[in-house]
Amino acid sequence: MEKLALNGGTPVRNNKITYGKQWIDQDDINAVVTTLQSDFLTCGPKITELEQALCTYTGAKYAVAVSNGTAALHLACLAAGVGPGDEVITTPITFAASANCALYCGAKPVFADINPETYNIDPASVREKITERTKAIVAVDFTGQPVEVEEIRKICDEFNLVFIEDAAHSIGSKYNGAQVGSLADMTTFSFHPVKTVTGGEGGAILTSNEEYFKKLSLFRTHGITKVPSEMLEEPEGIWYYEQQELGYNYRITDFQAALITSQMSKLDRFVARRKEIVARYNEAFAELPEIIIQKEISRADTCRHLYIIQLDLEKLTCTRREFFDALAAENVQPQVMYIPVYWFPYYQKLGYERGLCPKAEYVYSRIMCIPLYPKMTDQDVADVIHAVKKVVENYRK
């Protein structure tokens, strides 16, 4: 057996590989530089171009590009009419922003439990959490796998709720053959560098509902409109603009939009490479009874953003922490995503208690992400598999 690097052995690789990383080529750089040399750094044509590219790719009617994925979630909640006294149901196994967006609107995030095999929000648990105050569901496509869209759609129709899909992980994925972005009432994307398509920072909301689209556009720019036909008062002159709501400055710049549009043209390539790596991991880990891999639902065609390994701790002599540290010492740096949101001190202060979603907490205590991004070489992929096998073999019962 190979000696673990943690115990003084030789690491599987010399340089560290992390869980996610962007892929920027010269043509992406050129797109940014060209925009910097143009007349518009913000509010210009590159933003419209990006919004069109997002609509074309996803099949949604409208796209509103914004400064980041968190702003996208906030605007989606505002457009859905979420306000003080309302409740918004989401999953605890997500980035904090999926729940914070309800708090921004004065509403209460309510956590539904997950399906312990797919790790996505469990529609049955969503049903149990619905009250008269429930206004919306923020369903997160965790790791890129679409949620159970049909079941959630049914619940939303039955209880008159707005279906918001947090698709920060799932751009490029499909459900029943339809692209993510065309499925929910509103779908939000993030273009942070660890996500599949990046602009450094950036986000977008997709919708096919004109009313939501108008609200999203208004809230993105301070609640101010410059369109005469939409004004509530008679314009005094052509300089007149009008604030109608308390909105925000959630605009994205044109040079970020240019970068994202350039990246969008490579999305299918990124998707194909991610799938290739996932297939290799799945095949390798199928031989390891100590590693449980994420279940895929048959209706989903997933572009995986994160690759999760779940440890069957009953078959191992180590803790999750020890496994994590051993893998990191091999220079394959894992990450744990996510800590249940309501465990954070801020949420504890609000009165949320541990134990609220037992399945989510169970899964959290056994998972970690291993590196997955399109720029990984075949050697990188082989190193990750080698390192996982090495650690498993050392801790096998």
Ligand X SMILES: *Cc1c(COP(=O)(O)O)cnc(C)c1O
Which tokens hold the place of 348? Answer: 């504890």
Burial (CB count <10 Å: 0-12, 13-18, 19+), residue 325: middle
Residue nearest to ligand X (CB): 69
Work out whether 192 is an interface residue with ligand X (CB under 6 A): yes
CB of 388 to ligand X, least distance (A): 23
C-alpha to C-alpha distance for 230 and 244, rounded to whole angstroms: 10
**Among residues 178, 66, 188, 210, which one has the least CA distance to residue 137?**
188
- Minimum CB separation of residue 15 from ligand X in Å reads 26
Under the binding rule (CB under 6 A), the answer on residue 190 touching ligand X is: yes
CB environment 264-276: b (16+ within 10 A), e (fewer): bebbeebbebbbe
Residue with Cβ nearer ligand X (68 or 187): 68
Tell me whether residue 4 or residue 71 sits nearer to ligand X (CB atom): 71
Binding letters toward ligand X, positions 63-102, x by CB under 6 A: -----xxx-----------------------xx-xx----
Least distance (Å) between residue 277 CB and ligand X: 19
Please check whether residue 146 is in contact with residue 170, taking contact to mean a CB–CB distance below 8 angstroms. Answer: yes
Residues 111-140 that bind ligand X (CB under 6 A): 140
Residues 6+ apart with CB under 8 A from 59: 178, 179, 181, 182
Strands of 45-160, DSSP E: 62-66, 87-90, 108-111, 134-140
Cβ closest to ligand X, residue 192 vs residue 220: 192
Q: How far is CA 327 from CA 29, 321, 383, 387, in A?
A: 34, 10, 11, 6
Shortest distance in whole angstroms from residue 165 CB to ligand X: 10
In one letter, which amino acid is 171?
I
Of the candidates 181, 199, 203, 371, which one interacts with ligand X according to CB under 6 A? 203
Q: Please, which residue, 169 or 389, has the CB nearer to ligand X?
A: 169
Question: Which x/- pattern over 156-175 shows residues binding ligand X (rule: CB under 6 A)?
Answer: ----------x-xx------
User: What is the contact surface with ligand X in residues (CB under 6 A)?
Assistant: 68-70, 94-95, 97-98, 140, 166, 168-169, 190, 192, 203
